[in-house]
């Protein structure tokens, strides 16, 4: 293994193992889906919330679908001694609670006991500190006994442990892959935040790539595990209706929204260090922007897709203070203010809302503004992308009682409603040429059976197969941070001001003014037609 940082390559990486039969006691895999190869999944942070709420439900769902191999093993590494049986029972109780909770993303109802037993038999707990040699020597002994040698190291830990864990894995020889097609793979999955600015992201990339090859590193963004996010590419490239107009000649502007009604939910310490901008803009929202704006790839090969997304990251014009609005929720109809939350400083200037105007400087998108917003304690929970087309010439309607035409807007609804809608104009009934605004919509629930899905199923499955399409490369991570670095570290003018907004509102008035300068307005978060669904 090289001891110097590696440069990402565009060569597609094939899974380095043979695929065996699926689980004997689990359902057979769906038509067209092959089971993942046998592997050992090592979860650092086995006692954490991420493991309970997302990783274990995702593994359970994969087992239900018959997509895990019978040779699968799961080793949970965490601080503190604990019996494997106790860990299993704790995970089982958590799954049962989440499955019964209709508000949970894992609303599976009653658990399939057969599928859970299959997963439980493969769970093993190992006590160990994340920064001591003994932990990794003990882990190496366990992995030497694993069939096939395929191992995925999942870092479900706080960001401060990323570097020491990877370093210990590398020095213990645990990242060395076997030779040839029969050799076992070694992969690392790293959660966000991947750095807190450009300098820290570069440093983290350099450190990781001094012990592992870029092809072994899977930087995960759970937004990309959502079916409705992946559907963006299907809507764009599988329909002749959209792609011909998907350009500056026809599109006026794009809005990308990720709004939440909840506050920081006891995560005050984390949020004080991070804020809404760092937490959401350079990763989640830029990822959505990339899927909306990317050029068509030649295929859905991982590197073909990631190359096109990297081109968009590189083409984003660096943001300035004039492009950004920060806000912080105050006591209002929806509850207490941010400064009243636990572990938050009484004079905190951390933003819980961020809006940005982004330009992509390439041939397709030059001059088209992308408006991004995210925030806590807003009027409605909504993640969506709205593509507004340019207005038609008004001359035809100059002698009719038409004061204004409703803009044509295609909205891709990601969460909590799943589907699309299109706003357009028709003639209202009657003898006079009167225009009325209407909406045509499609909802996933009307066509497809609802499935319990936490968003990590596809990502874990793809990692086992060696498909890196939905994972971020080092170059894309760094160019995204580069685009926002002047906002995080202003060279002039000082820090971005933080404006108050009432909890339960649409956000700060200054965010409305940001769009008004361009003659635009945010789509309302409260939309009766959608809220009634």
How far apart CA 1 and CA 197 sit, in angstroms, is 28
**Contacting residues for 326 by C-beta, under 8 A, at least 6 apart:** 275, 276, 277, 351, 353, 354, 496, 497, 498, 499
How far apart CA 369 and CA 358 sit, in angstroms, is 6
Edge-first strand order for the sheet with 151-155 is 123-127, 73-78, 40-44, 151-155, 186-190, 217-219
Tokens of 333: 């109809």
Give Cα 58 to chain centroid, integer Å.
15
Q: What are phi and psi of 348, to 5 degrees?
A: -60, 140
Which residue positions form the known binding site for substrate?
222, 226, 260, 279, 376
Which residue positions form the known binding site for NADP(+)?
129-130, 192
Secondary structure of residue 236 in the 3-state scheme: helix
**Catalytic-labelled residue, pool 92, 107, 207, 284:** 284
**DSSP state for residue 69 in the 8-state scheme:** -
How far apart CA 94 and CA 51 sit, in angstroms, is 10
Are the beta carbons of 330 and 376 closer than 8 angstroms? no
**Termini Cα distance of the chain:** 54
Which residue positions form the known binding site?
129-130, 192, 222, 226, 260, 279, 376
Q: Which residue has the tokens 């060279």?
A: 491
Q: Does the annotation count 24 as an active-site position?
A: no
Is 504 exposed, middle or buried (CB count within 10 Å of its CB: 0-12, 13-18, 19+)?
A: middle
Q: Which residue has the tokens 């359902």?
A: 27
Active site residues: 284
């Amino acid at each position: 293994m090289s001891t110097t940082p590696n440069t990402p390559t565009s060569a597609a990486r094939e899974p380095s193992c043979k695929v065996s039969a699926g689980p004997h006691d689990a359902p057979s895999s769906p038509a067209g889906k092959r089971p993942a190869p046998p592997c050992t999944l090592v979860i650092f942070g086995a006692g954490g919330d991420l493991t309970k709420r997302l990783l274990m439900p995702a593994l359970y769902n994969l087992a239900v679908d018959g997509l895990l191999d019978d040779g699968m093993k799961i080793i949970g590494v965490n601080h503190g001694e604990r019996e494997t049986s106790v860990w299993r029972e704790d995970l089982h109780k958590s799954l049962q609670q989440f499955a019964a909770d209709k508000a949970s993303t894992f609303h599976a109802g009653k658990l399939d006991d057969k599928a859970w037993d299959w997963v439980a038999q493969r769970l093993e707990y190992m006590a160990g500190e994340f920064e001591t040699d003994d932990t990794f020597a003990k882990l190496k002994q366990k992995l030497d006994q694993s069939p096939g040698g395929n191992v995925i190291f999942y870092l479900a830990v706080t960001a401060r442990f990323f570097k020491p864990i990877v370093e210990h894995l590398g020095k213990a020889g645990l990242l060395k892959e076997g030779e040839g097609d029969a050799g076992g793979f070694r992969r690392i999955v790293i959660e966000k935040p991947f750095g807190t600015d450009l300098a820290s992201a570069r440093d983290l990339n350099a450190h990781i790539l001094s012990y592992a090859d870029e092809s072994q590193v899977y930087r995960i963004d759970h937004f990309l595990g959502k079916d409705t996010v992946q559907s963006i590419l299907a809507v764009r490239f599988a329909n002749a209706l959209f792609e011909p107009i998907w350009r500056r000649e026809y599109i006026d502007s794009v809005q990308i929204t990720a709004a939440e009604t909840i506050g920081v939910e006891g995560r005050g310490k984390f949020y004080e260090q991070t804020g809404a901008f760092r937490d959401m803009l350079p990763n989640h929202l830029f990822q959505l922007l990339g899927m909306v704006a990317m050029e068509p790839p030649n295929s859905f090969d991982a590197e073909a897709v990631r190359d096109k997304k990297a081109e968009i990251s590189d083409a984003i014009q660096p943001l300035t203070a004039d492009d950004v609005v920060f806000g912080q929720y105050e006591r209002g109809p929806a509850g207490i203010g941010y400064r009243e939350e636990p572990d938050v400083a009484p004079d905190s200037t951390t933003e819980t809302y961020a809006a940005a105007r982004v330009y992509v400087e390439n041939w397709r998108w030059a001059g088209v503004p992308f408006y991004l917003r995210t925030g806590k304690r807003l009027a409605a929970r909504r993640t969506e992308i709205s593509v507004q087309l340019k207005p038609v010439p008004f001359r035809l309607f100059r002698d009719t009682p038409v004061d204004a035409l409703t803009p044509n807007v295609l909205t891709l609804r990601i969460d909590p409603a799943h589907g699309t809608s299109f706003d357009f104009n028709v003639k209202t009934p009657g003898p006079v040429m009167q225009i009325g605004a209407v909406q045509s919509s499609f909802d996933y629930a009307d066509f497809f059976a609802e499935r319990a899905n936490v968003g990590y199923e596809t990502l874990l499955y793809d990692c086992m197969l060696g498909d890196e399409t939905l994972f971020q490369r080092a170059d894309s991570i760094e160019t995204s941070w580069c685009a926002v670095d002047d906002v995080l570290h202003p060279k002039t003018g000082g820090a971005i001001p933080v404006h108050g907004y009432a909890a339960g509102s649409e956000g700060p008035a200054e965010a409305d003014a940001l769009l008004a300068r361009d003659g635009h307005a945010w789509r309302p978060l409260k939309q009766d037609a959608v809220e009634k669904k």
